[in-house]
Amino acid sequence: MSDSTNKPCIICVAITGSVPTKADNPAVPTTISEQLESTQEAFEAGASIVHAHVRNEDETPTSDPERFARLKEGLLKHCPGMIIQFSTGGRSGSGRERGGMLSLKPDMASLSVGSNNFPTRVYENSPELIDWLASEMLEHDVKPEVEAFDLSHIFGAVRMHKEGKFSAIPYVQFVMGVKNAMPVDREVFDFYVKTLKRLLPGGEWCAAGIGAGQIVVNEWVVAEGGHARAGLEDNIRLDKDTLAPSNAALIKRVVDLCEKYERPVATVDQARQMLNLRPAA
């Protein structure tokens, strides 16, 4: 047991992503109105961060700032105080297109700080693009959530922090279970946590597991004092034979784990404070 196990647990809902479609699970929200409805349910279930991608009408991913703007406007109205995090991930655009929505000043944005393989392609993040995305986040007061698909990405985040490329200690997420990147492995997870605590003392961290690994990683983070992410972006099932009926249903599983490990679920105000974010708009 660590000393931080009774601190509030911040739960992030990853509502849509770039990959799953309604053919995979009809509950995946792909229009703005579906995204708002699904996020509101997850918010009411306990999520304090929404991690969002946007889609075109045909469900293909896009980085269209106009769609992000409409989503943000609706979220401010329907989920008051909720932390809005936009994805700058590489499946929805190329190069600087990926950061075209940062001027909308979401509270946070995801930031990859290195390259790795994805199931069928290279996830390419050049040093030049990483620095540009980080500088846009700095300029627009957007807190990065560093996506660590590999151990070297944790070191990359630490180096960028030392170089003054972030406004504060970055929030780091360990992503486990993407095919061809780091699998869901307990010893690696423990080493990630230990390394982060050594190199970024006082930094908050979270982790996400993909597919059947979602609930596994959810339990590890809740037990170890980290913060959790769940949602249809990463996992469309409750178990091998059952599709998740909603994002809220996946958030509910994390809330149940918080109860099991006696961790309060963070309110939006607590989450904003722990992550050094500006107060709710």
Q: Which of these ranges, 79-87, 112-120, 175-183, 218-226, lies near Zn ion under the rule CB under 5 A? A: 79-87
Q: Which stretch binds Zn ion (CB under 5 A): 20-28, 55-63, 86-94, 154-162?
A: 86-94
Per rule CB under 5 A, is residue 87 in the interface with Zn ion?
Answer: yes
* Amino acid at residue number 157: A
Stretch that binds Zn ion, among 87-95, 122-130, 135-143, 240-248 (CB under 5 A): 87-95
Read off φ and ψ for residue 13, nearest 5 degrees. Answer: -105, 120
The residue (of 254 and 263) whose beta carbon lies closer to Zn ion is 254
Q: Which is nearer to Zn ion, 87 or 116 (CB)?
A: 87
Q: Is 39 in the site for Zn ion (CB under 5 A)?
A: no
What is the distance between the alpha carbons of residues 61 and 59, in angstroms, rounded to a whole number? 6
Q: How far is the CB of 18 from Zn ion (least distance, A)?
A: 7
CA dihedral 162, 12, 244, 29 (to 10 degrees): -90
Tokens of 60: 């293909």
The strand ranges marked E within the chain are: 11-14, 49-52, 54-55, 61-62, 83-86, 108-112, 116-117, 122-123, 143-148, 171-176, 205-209, 227-230, 237-239, 242-243
Minimal CB distance residue for Zn ion: 87
Closer to Zn ion by Cβ: residue 158 or 175: 175
Taken as a whole, the chain contains a residue count of: 281
Closer to Zn ion by CB, 87 or 125: give it: 87
Number of residues lying near Zn ion (CB under 5 A): 1
| Closer CB to Zn ion, 61 or 226, in the complex | 61
Nearer to Zn ion, 39 or 87 (CB): 87
The CB-of-9 to Zn ion minimum distance in angstroms stands at 20
Measured from the CB atom, is 87 or 214 closer to Zn ion? 87
Q: Among 57-65, 80-88, 153-161, 243-251, which window interacts with Zn ion (CB under 5 A)?
A: 80-88
Asked if residue 214 binds Zn ion (CB under 5 A), the reply is no
| HSE toward the beta carbon, residue 115, CA cutoff 13 A | 9
Both tokens of 19, joined, read 């990959």
Dihedral sign from CA coordinates of 93, 161, 108, 100: negative
Is 92 or 246 the residue whose CB approaches Zn ion more closely?
92
Choices 55-63, 81-89, 168-176, 218-226 (CB under 5 A): range interacting with Zn ion: 81-89
* Least Cβ distance, residue 2 to Zn ion (angstroms): 27
In the bound complex, what is the minimum distance in angstroms from residue 1's beta carbon to Zn ion?
31
CB atoms within 10 A of CB 57: 8
Residues 6+ apart with CB under 8 A from 101: 63, 65, 68, 69, 86
Nearest Cα residue to 51 out of 84, 5, 8, 3: 84
Interface map 108-147 toward Zn ion (x if CB under 5 A): ----------------------------------------
Contacts with Zn ion, residue ranges (CB under 5 A) = 87
